[in-house]
Amino acid sequence: MPDPAVAVKDIGRRFGEVVALGGVSLEVEGGEFVSLLGPSGCGKTTLLRIISGLDRQDEGEVWVAGREITKEPAHRRPVNLVFQRYALFPHKTVAENVAFALTLKRLPRSEIERRVEEMLELVHLPGFGRRNIDQLSGGQAQRVALARALIDDPAVLLLDEPLAALDLKLRQAMHIELREIQRRVGSTFVYVTHDQEEALVMSDRVALMESGRIVQDGAPQDVYQRPQTLFAAEFLGEANLFSGHAESDGERVLVRSGDLSLLVHGEAAQGSESWVCVRPERIRIGEVSTGDRGPNTCDGTVATVIFLGSLVRYVVDVRERSIMAEISAEDGPPPFRVGDRVRLSWDVGAGVILKE
């Protein structure tokens, strides 16, 4: 097996009494797009800066392409960093900015010009080489920063919330564009963000961070659909969370949460206090019918109806708790209104037992 493109091993970093990173280990394979996702202060930017050499860990090792670079200065590391604020040279043209790394290597002028044009084509800015930086929009400036970082073929590209300063529509367009660029060049991207949509849309893998540690690492759909902790369930999207005593038959778990019974696949110790996560889109909403209610079924009153464009979200009061359910809005006006009595139900596979 080839060496990982990036490997950090037991990285620790403290600022006085504050533990920014507590024994973090992560491997990124060549050509992967991995996002470090988490709230402010979780340690994701600190980890990125340690990989780049702009900060130093108190313990642990950093490896790139099978070579340990733990003690090497930033300028000798085979990585480039794209910042949130672009960090472009305002007195240089677009072409001069993009060419900066190659001019330091003293490559022939014709070679530099050829590669600059290739990079501008790659980031959809052909013909922009002579423009000044102050003539660019935010999205164009970020593409120039990306071209500058990619032009000398770094082993790894590190991106520190590079789209955070853009407006919503442009940021969403750049999600797709940045992912396409990464696939075309085949580079390894390590991307820092606190935006869940960015991480889920662009990444091959998401490393979810909390309080200086990685709490879950996997494909975006797995991290979202099968959260392992309360933090993961709450941070990624919307979640209905239930706690209660578990009764296990080996393959399935019945959690009794008040007068509600939740049947899920998984494992839990008999009689233990367990948490169950059910995503709103996994819950069906319909009219109340006669007959006994089995597990994963409850009746309640619609408290709120929220139109979200492609979805309609219902908040249903069920005794002393509220449960969210989401349905497609493509079939016309919402079928239920505030005050309607409804029945909620979901499949056994919709619920997830949280491990922590």
**Other Cβ atoms within 10 Å of 295 Cβ, number:** 18
Distances from the Cα of 255 to the Cα of 128, 192, 354, angstroms = 61, 37, 12
- Confidence (pLDDT) at 130: 93
pLDDT at 255 (0 to 100):
93
**DSSP 3-state of 225:** helix
1 in a domain, yes or no?
no
**Residue 333: which domain range?**
238-353
Q: Is there a single domain that holds both residue 140 and residue 206? A: yes
**290 and 260 together in one domain:** yes
Does 35 fall in a domain? yes
As a whole number of angstroms, the distance between CA 74 and CA 129 comes to 28
* pLDDT of amino acid 333: 75
Query: Do both 88 and 202 map to the same domain?
Result: yes
pLDDT of residue 173: 84
Q: How far apart are CA 21 and CA 14, in angstroms?
A: 7
302 lies in the same domain as 316: yes
Token representation of residue 52: 């780049």
Whether 96 and 205 share a structural domain: yes
**Which pLDDT tens digit goes with each residue over 43-94?**
999 999 999 999 999 999 999 999 999 999 998 999 998 887 767 889 999 9
> Of the residues 233, 267, 297, which one is the last residue of a structural domain?
233
pLDDT of residue 320: 86
Element (H, E) at 139: helix 138-150
127 in the same domain as 58: yes
Q: At what angle do helices 168-185 and 109-122 cross, to 10 degrees?
A: 130
How many angstroms separate the CA atoms of 146 and 119, rounded? 9
Residue 138 in 3-state DSSP? helix
Same domain, residue pair 223 and 135: yes
Residues 217, 114 within the same domain: yes
Last-in-domain residue among 233, 258, 280: 233
Shared domain for 102 and 145, answered yes or no, is: yes
pLDDT of residue 230: 94
Q: What is the pLDDT of residues 100-159, one digit of tens each?
A: 989 888 889 999 999 999 999 988 899 999 999 989 988 888 889 889 988 988 889 999
